[in-house]
Structure 1
């Protein structure tokens, strides 16, 4: 099994800031969509709720319950 991890971190070490991404990068969303197409995504509940389900992806959503 191959496992890849994709994490985006701001210059000051922030991964997330509430429901918003704390940076803006041209093409970042297109790259994310291309890399994750037809793949499994492991995401937190809040991330899943904020971005919604993208087509042609399978999700494992992590929650506290």
Structure 2
């Protein structure tokens, strides 16, 4: 699957939704409000559902 920077995705290995901060080949650097960034392979990720995206954006707004 192809992702772009700033996409909101679900890391299926961790069960966490994050925003793509950087892409290094098959490795994505994901971030969440108030958490340290983490690496995830593209094969571990899938696009977030509309509900997951809304929840994540609400978390970002609350952290701002």
Bigger Rg, which one: 1
Which structure is higher in strand share? 2
Report which structure shows greater RCO (CA 8 Å, sep ≥6): 2
* TM superposition score normalised by structure 2: 0.29
